[in-house]
């Protein structure tokens, strides 16, 4: 039977990583790719039998490529620290990779839980990110610092898994705000070369809200859907504002030190 490596990317995820590793016990190898966490994350991972690899954070694309390089086996399944592999998904993975007709990469659906409920709309289900199950050497990531893409190194079409994994993206609203701040800063680097204005920041933010709340049916998720849409507005708006700040440099926040000349 083909062997599977599971890699888990984590940074200061001591409250979550234990459950993530536990959900991956079915794999032949578990690797936690850490960036020098200070909250005990690597110690917990080592205690649970995972192999810890320390990688300097230079964006999520680079981090994931380093994770692939650390994997030993033919097949790789990627998990983030806020995700859990269900027994049903694990059994499906074993069946898929044992098939002679296996694809080289598979999309994995994710069920997201937020504000005490399963989010069925808001663009959060099936909520594919990059293909999470793939053969080593058949996929890698681009080097975008956040919302990284993937590059398929195979002529085969991507398959789809049927069974979902679970994701718990935020433990509380403080984490929602923390991640929005971090991701907007990383995203600003991607767009700082564009022609930007405060008007475009507002319009992009407003469109992000409407897209998630109306077109992706977030209103059907109740208040949780509204919070998700509002969070997308804020994250998008501040990403553009931070990019403008990068373009203008320190002078954008500097006071006008020119003294007014007295009129004669």
Instruction: With a cut of 90, say whether residue 48 has pLDDT above it.
Output: yes
Bridge partners of 53? 33
168 burial class (0-12, 13-18, 19+ CB within 10 angstroms)?
Answer: middle
Instruction: With a cut of 80, say whether residue 57 has pLDDT above it.
Output: yes
Give pLDDT, residue 252.
77
d(CA 125, CA 144): 24
Instruction: With a cut of 60, say whether residue 261 has pLDDT above it.
Output: no
Give pLDDT, residue 63.
96
pLDDT band at 175 (very low <50, low <70, confident <90, very high): confident
Are the C-beta atoms of residues 79 and 165 closer than 8 Å to each other?
yes
Give pLDDT, residue 147.
82
d(CA 104, CA 169): 28
Note the maximum CA span of the chain: 92
pLDDT band at 27 (very low <50, low <70, confident <90, very high): very high
pLDDT band at 250 (very low <50, low <70, confident <90, very high): low
pLDDT band at 251 (very low <50, low <70, confident <90, very high): low
Q: What is the mean pLDDT of residues 194-208?
A: 96
Q: Which residue has the higher pLDDT, 249 or 120?
A: 120
Please tell me which of 140-149, 212-221, 255-264 the model is most confident about, judged by mean pLDDT.
Answer: 212-221
Structure tokens given for 13: 């995820």
For the chain, list the domains and their CATH numbers.
Answer: 4-167 (3.90.550.10), 173-252 (no CATH)
Query: How does the average pLDDT of the chain come out, rounded?
Result: 93
- With helix as H, strand as E and coil as C, how does 228-249 read? HHHHHHHHHHHHHHHHHHHHHH
d(CA 5, CA 73): 6
Instruction: With a cut of 80, say whether residue 237 has pLDDT above it.
Output: yes
């Amino acid at each position: 039977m083909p062997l599977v490596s599971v890699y888990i990317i984590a940074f200061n995820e001591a409250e979550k990583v234990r459950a993530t590793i536990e959900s991956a016990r079915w794999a032949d190898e578990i690797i936690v790719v850490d960036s020098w966490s200070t909250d005990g994350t690597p110690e917990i991972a080592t205690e649970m039998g995972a192999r810890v690899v320390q990688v300097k954070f230079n964006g999520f694309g680079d981090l994931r490529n380093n994770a692939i390089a650390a994997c030993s086996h033919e097949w790789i399944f990627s998990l983030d620290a806020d995700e859990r592999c269900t027994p049903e998904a694990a059994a499906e993975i074993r069946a898929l990779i044992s098939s002679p007709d296996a694809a080289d990469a598979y999309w994995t659906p994710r069920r997201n839980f937020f504000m005490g409920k399963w989010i069925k709309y808001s663009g959060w289900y099936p909520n594919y990110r990059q293909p999470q199950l793939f053969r080593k050497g058949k996929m890698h990531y681009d080097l975008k610092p956040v919302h990284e893409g993937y590059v398929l190194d195979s002529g085969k079409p991507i398959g789809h898994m049927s069974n979902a994994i679970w994701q718990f993206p935020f433990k509380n609203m403080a984490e929602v705000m923390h991640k929005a701040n971090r991701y907007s800063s990383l995203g600003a680097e991607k767009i700082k070369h564009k022609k930007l204005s405060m008007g475009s920041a507002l319009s992009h933010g407003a469109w992000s809200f409407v897209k998630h709340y109306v077109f992706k049916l977030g209103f059907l998720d109740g208040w949780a859907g509204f919070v998700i849409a509002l969070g997308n507005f804020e994250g998008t708006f501040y990403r553009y504002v931070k990019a403008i700040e990068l373009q203008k440099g320190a002078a954008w926040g500097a006071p006008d030190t020119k003294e007014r000349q007295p009129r004669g």
